[in-house]
Amino acid sequence: MSTCRFDRRTLLKGTGAALLTAGSGALLRTQPIRAADPSAAPSPAPIPGSRVPIETIRRAPKVLLHDHLDGGLRPQTVIELADETGYGGLPTEDPDALAAWFLAGADRKSLELYLEGFDQTVAVMQTPDAIARVAAECVEDLAADGIVYAEVRYAPEHSTAQGLSMDAVMEAWLAGFATGMARAADAGTPIVVRALVTAMRQTDRSREVAAVALRFRDTGVVGFDLAGPEAGFPAIDHAPAFQAIRDASFRATCHAGEAAGLFSISDALGACSADRIGHGVRLADDLFDEGGETRLGRVARDVLDRRIPLEICPSSNVHTGAVPSIPEHPVERFRRLGIAVTVNTDNRLMSGVTVSSEMATLSATFGIGLEEMRAMTIAAIDGSFAPYEERMRILHEVVEPGYDRLIAEGAA
Ligand SMILES: [Zn+2]
């Protein structure tokens, strides 16, 4: 056990997060820590109008809380795994064309249509080797984007079509994460990546999946999640699974307020006691303009007062039709109200994004700079399900010095 002493929590106005503040200098120092320097990775495409250049954003230490393992495969890997496993359902074997096919399929303004692309990725994730490879590459790709801590989620039941047990899926997945973290550390870009175990709304296995999450809680799983089509499949139907998580003093997030309205967020926070909300964009339905002021309804007030983090995924929300466009996205309104906004990818392959590109898109649209990015990163590490000591270490040894350095450079 750690002997760290952390004795204060200070709420900083405008950070959108309860800022964790260390007590004495007894921080864990298990290895040299530095923010990722992804200079070896290919340069991302510039985002026109971004106040902060995307190359600078990539150098900033970032935290990712909402990313699907089956939504972030490299196109080349999909092609190679299909070849190895004899899967013949891919629309093309050209990686660029395949990436374009996924994006075109995702951007149809419907969550149900958005989810169709996963049939292809899940089809090639049916063996332990394939799952481990996808997981290791996921970690390497996140590290190359300058992410220093991530929680990546997956529904293990998706990989049971050819006879794997959910436990076998978990073992391959977590082994892949370990491989990826070792490779990233060797490359000088250390990253911590943990797993969230997802249950699907449209199946009846959530209690079984919650038990899987709890079995692997000491070997890399930090929480439970519920995903899938919202309409017609309310989270409250899965309340017993969330209760099992809560009874075991474990953590949970829940996709809500994406394809369904405010009641879905209420369900997630009430009956399911979720610690975070995946998306939550429909919380905007509970904000009312009155005489130039914003009045918060009961649910929005609860989210603000309890510091419930929202896992915002801007481009995905446009692709699924949850919001009409980035300029109409409520993320900036939430942030200005002090809600704990975090910036996420959802599905890097399907939506063609990285955390850096999403930050640049918000910078181009709303004019946010490095200070705002720092605040949202602090909200993310604070809202993560990592142990307190690890959150403190990442905050004080990686996030804060990383942004201090960039801001001192006059990067924004
Ligand atoms: Zn998601």
Q: What is the pLDDT of residues 135-172, one digit of tens each?
A: 999 999 999 999 999 999 999 999 999 999 999 999 99
Q: Tell me, yes or no, whether 10 lies in a domain.
A: no
pLDDT tens digits, 186-242: 999 999 999 999 999 999 999 999 999 999 999 999 999 999 888 889 999 999 999
Q: Give the distance (Å) from ligand 1 centre to CA of residue 90.
A: 23
Gap from CA of 281 to ligand 1 centroid (Å) = 12
Instruction: Let me know if residue 198 belongs to a domain.
Output: yes
pLDDT of residue 9: 35
Question: Is 1 within the bounds of a domain?
Answer: no
Which tens digit of pLDDT belongs to each residue from 313-325?
999 999 988 899 9
287 vs 20: which has the higher pLDDT? 287
For residue 38, give the CATH number of its domain.
3.20.20.140
| Residue numbers of the domain that contains 127 | 16-21+30-407
Whether 168 is in a domain gets the answer yes
Domain contains 5: no
Among 258, 311, 390, 397, the one annotated catalytic? 258
Does residue 18 have a pLDDT over 50?
no
Give the Å distance between the CA of 344 and the centre of ligand 1: 9
In a domain, 337, yes or no: yes
More confident residue, 131 or 35: 131
Please count the structural domains in the chain. Answer: 1
Whether the predicted pLDDT of 22 surpasses 50: no
Task: Kindly give the distance from the C-alpha atom of residue 405 to the centroid of ligand 1, in angstroms, as a whole number.
Answer: 32
Structure tokens at 125: 């994730």
Looking at the chain, the whole-number percentage of residues with pLDDT higher than 70 is: 89
- Is residue 147 included in any domain, yes or no? yes
Angle at 338 between CA 336 and CA 340, to 5 degrees: 115
Task: Using pLDDT thresholds of 50, 70 and 90, give the confidence band for residue 99.
Answer: very high
DSSP secondary structure of 152-164: EEE-GGGG-TTS-
pLDDT tens profile 111-127: 778 788 899 999 999 99
Residue 188: burial class (beta carbons within 10 Å; 0-12, 13-18, 19+): middle
CA 192 to centroid of ligand 1, rounded, Å: 20
Whether 186 is covered by a domain: the verdict is yes
pLDDT for residue 42: 61
Average pLDDT over residues 26-39: 39
> Which among 192, 223, 178 has a CA at the least distance from the CA of 398?
192
pLDDT tens figures, 35-79: 444 444 566 677 777 889 999 999 999 999 999 999 999 999 999
Q: Any idea which of 50-54, 332-336, 398-402 has the lowest mean pLDDT?
A: 50-54
Confirm if 390 and 4 have CB atoms less than 8 A apart.
Answer: no
Q: pLDDT above 90 covers what percent of the chain?
A: 78
Is residue 151 part of the annotated active site? The answer reads no
Q: Which residues pair with 278 in a beta bridge?
A: 255, 311
Measured from the Cβ of residue 231, the count of other Cβ atoms closer than 10 Å reads 12
Yes or no: say if 379 and 16 are a contact pair by the CB < 8 Å rule. Answer: yes
